[in-house]
A and B are shown apart, each in its own frame.
Chain A
Amino acid sequence: MKGNPLTMVPPLDRRRFLAITGGGIGALALSACAGPITSGAAPSPTTSTGTDWSKVTPAPEITFWSNHPGKSQDVETALINAYHKTQTETKVTLVTAGASYEEVAQKFQTAQQGGQLPHVVVFSDVWWFRYFLNDSIISLNDLLSHLKVDTADYVEGLYKDYEFNTKQWAVPYARSTPLFYYNKAMWAAAGLEDRAPKTWQEFATWAPKLKAANPSAQVAHMYSAASDYDSWTLQNKIWGEGGALSKDWTITCDAEPVVKVLQFTQDSVYKHKWAGVSAKDASADFAAGAAASFVGSTGSLVGVLKAAKFDVGVGFLPGGSQATDMVCPTGGAGLGIPKAITPEQQLAAAKFLAFLGLPENTAAFAAATGYMPVRKSSDMSAVYAKTPQAKIAVDQLSHTRSQDYARVFLPGGDREIGIASSDILTQQAKITDRLAKLKSTLTDIYTTDVKPKLR
């Protein structure tokens, strides 16, 4: 017998088996057609834009998918319990949909192919735009205005992050920014002012002093491990030199300021040897006294303060030769509502979303996790009294800048940028070549995966 085993369907004895299998095989053939529609036409705009929310009753039960960013399972449960006390029409169930944003996204995307969708879902800065592209989330403008949510009270930069095509696609939730962490004792030993450097150039002049004065520390500054593919904090240095990874949809990651920044970073490790790349976890290295400083998420603040046996100083991210303000990227996760659920569920979801966004609830969430309070009127005085460092993180919020499209809007863009920068940092790849390669990869992602879907 010559046959392609791939297409070989086990032949069955018709007489004996056909009767039994008829139904089964038919069902299989039908379901084999499931999957995407390939007509090529964009999906017709559905009715969700025209829903009259005042005529909808909220659903009695909704689920909330979260990966509990910042170990927030307990506070999320507490907030849900509090929500159940304020109203009785909707019961919220918290679901651990994964250990990371990526796993939640994976489940959410697969569920689009025909599964049980959540009603409120957490997604990170680099994920939400794909949901928009795939038409799997709804814009929240109508719902938020129907529920009379004071959207102006959300921290503007954080709220604007989820705006595209003049519509709002999510609200901020577990939001963070990078922060400059430093070891006050080592700073003092080097005779430095008790503050974060204003620019990276300034830090480069401090670093030799820090190293000389603190022989116990391996390095003056620690970058995150290469396998973390950190492309988030890289933007800070690039912006400081007046560059960007992209300007709207034009990829500019091979431009002169980016080359300069990566040269500076590479030199700091190999030429000047005042910086190092963490073996695993930069915040753990810092807390153990192996590095005098590092740049990490505000979400790490609580953990670092707990682990460090010295005075921890924090400050705004340093700028560069071209800019010293508005050089800090926003980050973290927001909350959105899927499209393919009933209006009743969407309304119930929006009400819960509004509840989570109340100033006192964002304050409670921020206090428990170290994430930023996403409302301007959140009362954080209790938190500041306990951890004065948190105030600096919150103050920095008004100096943040929305991230470059190349990192947050291109599917896999953050990963490609991270791989390129870790190649340069730990493999000593040739910078201009590697960035040119990155540009062509990112451009390819834009042309193939994004451009055809922009409506």
Chain B
Amino acid sequence: MALPNLVLIGAFTYRPLIMNIYYSTLNWTLGSATATVVGLGNYVRFFSSDAAGTVLTTTAVFAVATVGGSMVLGLLVALALNTNVPGTNVARAGVFAPYVLSGVGVGLVWLFIFDPVYGVLAYVLRRFGAESPRWFNDPTLSLVMVITVYVWKNLGYCAVVYLAGLQSLPADVMEAAALDGAGRLRRFGYMSLPLLGPTTFFLLITTILSSLQAFDLIRIMTPTSQGTRTLIYEAYVQGFGAYQRAGYSAAISVVLFVLLITLTIIQIAWVDRKVHYA
């Protein structure tokens, strides 16, 4: 019964993974019928190039900023939603909505909003006497732009998960603390936040994993990859973009996969420890 699915996963997920490891040992141009074996040459070439520094830094900055941004904002939104004011459910659904929308569509919409001349953001800034930042002239600003949109799209996920976490906090303990006269901030800092630890850790890992795989938005908003040379996008640009180095691109993919699997093992190991000692 499980077989068709397993064969499909094997054929279209595991087989490519293994093929990629093989491709990563070749000097192979996409579209070429021949290739030469270079062993670890592609890995050496990547890690010894100037690009490696840029790519790894960009990947780290993108991951930290998107994860940090969507988690902090997500927690704030969750706190705001954690009331029994009527309409909370509508707001909860609303804030989650961008998470399910097409990255291509969302990217195009925000490209228009960010346009330094005709975008609505530039218009608002002009009304306040400021000038629009030059999103397309400075790699750092390009990265900031993409991070902003990514956080916009993903913070609803963190908010909803945090909200579920907040609502599963033991009500009696919280009420007892309130009776003791602990202020909202103190209750949050000393009780809610530590109790949300497991939720935070879960979010940390899942959002890091999806942030490392972010692709559609980056491709649509920065087609030339200015400022956004993350591992996944660099692998794409090197393999399918301007350079067409299929082997080199495969090597970068393998580096990314090793990173992803390491993070997953850390997650499992952590949950493991919790099971043993909790």
A and B touch in the complex (CB under 8 A): yes
The 8 A CB mask of B104-122 against A (1 = contact, 0 = none) is: 0000000000011100000
Interface centre among A41, A226, A227 (most CB of B within 10 A): A227
Within 8 Å by CB of A415, from B21, B115, B222, B224, lies B224
CA distance A131 to B241 in the complex (A): 14
Report how far A11 CA is from B171 CA in the complex, Å: 47
A277, B138: Cα distance in complex, Å: 11
Give which listed residue, A7, A43, A411, A448, contacts B18 with CB less than 8 A.
A7
Whether A36 pairs with B18 at a CB distance below 8 angstroms is: no
B45 touches A448 (CB 8 A): yes
Contact call A35/B34, Cβ cutoff below 8 A: no
Which chain B residues border A102 with CB–CB below 8 Å? 241-242
Identify which of A20, A113, A418, A444 contacts B31 (C-beta below 8 A): A113
Are the C-beta atoms of A437 and B50 separated by less than 8 Å?
yes
Contact with B along A422-455 (1 / 0, CB 8 A): 1000110000000001000100110011001100
Contact A412 B242 (CB under 8 A): yes
The answer to whether A28 and B21 have CB atoms under 8 Å apart is no
Give chain A nearest CB distance to B26 CB in angstroms: 6
Q: Does B14 contact A (CB under 8 A)?
A: yes
B168 within 8 A of A: no
Q: How far is the CB of A98 from chain B (nearest CB, A)?
A: 11
B3 touches A28 (CB 8 A): no
Known: A112-B33, A113-B31, A412-B243. A427 touches B138 (CB 8 A): yes
Report A-chain residues with C-beta under 8 Å of the C-beta of B244.
105, 109, 130, 411
Contacts of A226 in B (CB 8 A): 136-139, 226
Assess whether A24 is in contact with B7, with CB atoms less than 8 Å apart.
yes
B275 interface residue (CB < 8 Å to A): no
Query: In the bound complex, do residue B26 and residue A36 qualify as a contact, i.e. CB atoms below 8 Å apart?
Result: yes
Query: Is A116 among interface residues, defined by CB-CB distance under 8 A?
Result: no
Annotate B134-176 by CB proximity to A: 1 below 8 A, 0 otherwise: 1111110010000000000000000000000000000000000
Q: Does B36 contact A (CB under 8 A)?
A: yes
B92 within 8 A of A: no
Chain B: interface residue count, which band? 35 or more
Cβ-based interface call for A40 (8 A)? yes
The minimal Cβ–Cβ distance linking A409 to chain B, given in whole angstroms, is: 13
A412 to B33, CA, bound (A): 20
For A271-300 the 0/1 string (1 means CB < 8 A from B) is 000000111110011001000000000000
Interface residues of B in 17-69 (CB under 8 A from A): 17-19, 21-23, 26-37, 45, 49-50
Nearest residue in A to B14 (C-beta to C-beta)?
A9
In the assembled complex, which residues on chain A have CB atoms less than 8 Å from the CB atom of B226? 226-227, 229, 419, 422
- In the assembled complex, A181 has its CB within 8 A of some CB on chain B: no
**In whole angstroms, what is the CA distance A194 to B120 when docked?**
37
Interface residue? A90 (CB, 8 A): no
- From 197 to 230 in chain B, residues with beta carbon under 8 angstroms from any chain A beta carbon are 222-224, 226
Asked whether, in the complex, the Cβ of A37 is within 8 Å of the Cβ of B31, the reply is no
Q: Which residues of B contact A32 (CB under 8 A)?
A: 15, 18-19
When the two chains form their complex, are residues B29 and A38 in contact, meaning their CB atoms are under 8 A apart? no
Complex interface residues of chain A between 14 and 50 (CB less than 8 A to chain B): 17, 20-21, 24-25, 28, 32, 35-43
Kindly list 13 other residue pairs between chains A and B, CB separation below 8 angstroms, not including A8-B14, A17-B3. Answer: A9-B10, A9-B14, A28-B11, A36-B34, A110-B30, A112-B33, A227-B136, A278-B137, A279-B117, A285-B117, A414-B242, A415-B242, A444-B49
Give the top 5 A-B pairs by smallest Cβ distance, nearest first.
A109-B31, A279-B116, A36-B35, A112-B31, A412-B243
